[in-house]
Amino acid sequence: MLHEKILIIMQDQKKGKVYQNLFLNSGFKTALLTDDPFKGIRILRTQEIQLILLDDTFQGMSFKQFADVIDYENLGAIIILGTDSLPSLQDFPPSVYGILNTPVSREMLLNSARMAIRQYKINTRLKEELKDLRKKLSDKKVIDQAKFFLMDKYKIDESQAYDRLRKVSMDKRVSIRKLAESIISEK
C-alpha cells in the first residue's frame, strides 16, 4: 500500500472523480479533487501532498505559472495529462515530472505517478542534504577564519586554536559558529 497523497486539479469534475477513484482503489492514502488551481495551491500549502495531477483543461493561470509556484515552494511533483499541443517537458520547471498524452492507460498513469513520487522524494532529500552541506561549509569557513585569527594572535597551532574555540563555546553555551562570528567581528 502507498501512503502518498495526490491532488487532482481538473475542470471536468466527472473525469476527475474517475481519476480520484483510480488512485484510491490503487492504494493511495488520499486523492483530493478540485477544479481551482488557486484552491489547489492553498491545499498544497497546508497538507503534505506528493503528487499533483493536472489536465489540459486547467484554467485560472498558465501551467508554467502554476509549476513555478509548486517548484519554488517545493510542494510536490506534477504530472500533466494532455494532448500533443502542450509544450515540451523542457519548457517547464523541475516540479513537472511528466506529461502524459490522453487517453492514458491505467498502468501508465499509475506507474508514472509512482515514479514521479519516488523521484520527488529523492529530490527533496537531496535538496535537504545540499542545504545542510552548504550550512556546514559556511560554518567551517567562519570557524576557520576565527581559528586563523587566534593562531596569529596567540602564536598557537590550528588544533590549539580549535580547542580554545570549543572550550569557550561550551563555557559560554554558544555555538562555535556564533563565537567565531563574534571573534571575526572584533578584529
Q: What global pTM score does this model have? A: 0.81
Contact at 8 Å (CB) between 100 and 112? yes
- What is the pLDDT at residue 17? 96
Contact yes or no for 49/72 (Cβ under 8 A) = no
C-alpha cell at 164: 580554545
Give me the mean pLDDT over the 57-73 stretch.
87
- CB environment 24-58: b (16+ within 10 A), e (fewer): eeeebebbbbbbebeebbebbeeeebbbbbbbbeb
Residue ranges matching CATH 1.10.10.10 in the chain: 131-186
User: Can you tell me whether residue 182 is helix, strand or coil?
Assistant: helix
- pLDDT given for residue 2 in this prediction: 57
pLDDT, mean of residues 99-120: 94
pLDDT, averaged across the chain: 92
- Kindly tell me if the per-residue pLDDT of 155 is higher than 90: yes
Predicted local distance difference test score (pLDDT) of residue 142 = 97
CATH for the stretch 131-186: 1.10.10.10
Alpha-carbon span 70 to 52, nearest angstrom: 9
What per-residue confidence (pLDDT) applies to 102? Answer: 87
| Percent of the chain residues topping a pLDDT of 90 | 79
Quote the CA–CA distance of 94 and 104 in Å, as a whole number. 22
C-alpha to C-alpha distances, 66 to 60, 62, 106, 157, 178, nearest whole angstrom? 9, 6, 25, 55, 39
For CATH 3.40.50.2300, the residue range(s) in the chain are: 5-104
Closest CA to 180 of 157, 134, 158, 147: 147
Fold of 5-104: Rossmann fold (3.40.50)
Q: Which stretches does DSSP call E strand in the chain?
A: 5-9, 30-34, 51-55, 77-82, 96-101
Q: How far is CA 149 from CA 18, 45, 140, 181, in A?
A: 67, 45, 14, 11
Give the C-alpha separation, 4 to 9, whole Å: 16
> Span 121-127, mean pLDDT?
95
Do 145 and 182 form a contact (C-beta atoms < 8 A)? no
pLDDT for residue 1 = 43
